[in-house]
Amino acid sequence: MPELPEVETIRAQLAPRLEGRLLARVEILDPRLTRPYDLFEVTEELEGDRVRSVERRGKYLLLRFESGLALLVHLRMTGSFGFTPTSHERAVLELDDGSRVAYRDVRRFGTWLVLDEGGELEQYLARKNGPEPLGTRFTASWLGVQLARRRAPLKAVLLDQRVVAGLGNIYADEALWRARVSPLRPANELASEEVGRVHRAIRSALRAGIERQGSTLRDYATPDGTSGSMQDEFRVYGRDGEPCLRCRTTIAKARVGGRGTWYCPRCQP
Ligand SMILES: [Zn+2]
């Protein structure tokens, strides 16, 4: 599933193509994409509107329009955007400059939701997302308060989007390796010095991902067809049985909250 660095990479490539452009024609090909709303209703709302900005909030892509409407896209497992025709297209945007942007989704879990900017949108986003980890509201003390009230394993708490917006399975593991803290520890048992390390590590792991245009695993592709290279830089994710890059101990794999979790049993106590 695309996480913050992947969605941010997609946003950065879509913005110059979409911002200022009018949606001359909108074609939604899969009713699952807009449900519970009717796809024709959504098509009508979007068609003829001009894109003001392409933004990101957590794992959501956010297109703001001149009309005051906003389209909130969640890519879920396999959603992606592309500039050249491909298979499994679920929606197509034809722009007033003659160009075309298609939404592709093999497994069809992605969602398109149109909301009104006046209140509705902010409420929806605030309910689903905590602070942006690379923004100023995400502080070590804020993270400490969130962890202190939960007994669940640290990793499971970090995957809660209301704690850290945009963090997912890959970058949570990478961050905890950098922080030298075990993903299995009860969240409320971290010392404040460890919380500080986790806070810094979340930011550095995500920044590393953005710099490398995300990680290319299975279905993720950037809109211009290039692929991210973060997968070549993983310190711990997917490396079970391989030596830890810091201490040479064999990387272990566990399941936390149903998700595959990789960590070094020695330097992540
Ligand atoms: Zn180690």
Mean pLDDT of the chain: 96
CA dihedral 202, 206, 208, 212 (to 10 degrees): 160
The catalytic residue among 3, 6, 94, 194 is 3
Ligand 1 centre and the CA of 262: distance in Å?
11
Ligand 1 centre and the CA of 263: distance in Å?
8
Is 57 one of the catalytic residues?
no
The terminus-to-terminus CA distance of the chain in angstroms comes to 28
Ligand 1 centre and the CA of 242: distance in Å?
11
pLDDT tens digits along 112-159: 999 999 889 999 999 999 999 999 999 999 999 999 999 999 999 999
Ligand 1 centre and the CA of 65: distance in Å?
48
Among residues 107, 106, 108, the alpha carbon closest in space to that of 87 is found at 106
> Minimum mean pLDDT among 19-28, 229-238, 248-257: which range?
229-238
Ligand 1 centre and the CA of 178: distance in Å?
10
Ligand 1 centre and the CA of 264: distance in Å?
5
Burial class (CB in 10 A: 0-12, 13-18, 19+), 161: middle
pLDDT band at 1 (very low <50, low <70, confident <90, very high): confident
Q: Please check the confidence at residue 218 and state whether its pLDDT lies above 80.
A: no
Buried b (16+ CB within 10 A) or exposed e, 89-110: ebbbbbbeeeeebbbbbeeeeb
Is 3 one of the catalytic residues?
yes
Is 5 one of the catalytic residues?
no
The catalytic residue among 11, 17, 56, 59 is 59
Return the ∠ at Cα 144 (arms to 141 and 149), rounded to 5°. Answer: 135
Ligand 1 centre and the CA of 266: distance in Å?
5
The kind and range of the H/E element at 200 are helix 192-211
Q: Which residues surround ligand 1, an ion (CB under 5 A)?
A: 244, 246-247, 249, 264, 266-267
Q: Please check the confidence at residue 217 and state whether its pLDDT lies above 80.
A: no
The catalytic residue among 45, 259, 265, 266 is 259
Q: Please check the confidence at residue 195 and state whether its pLDDT lies above 90.
A: yes
Is 2 one of the catalytic residues?
yes
Instruction: Provide φ and ψ at 138, rounded to 5°.
Output: -85, 95
Question: How large is the C-alpha radius of gyration of the chain?
Answer: 20
Ligand 1 centre and the CA of 168: distance in Å?
22
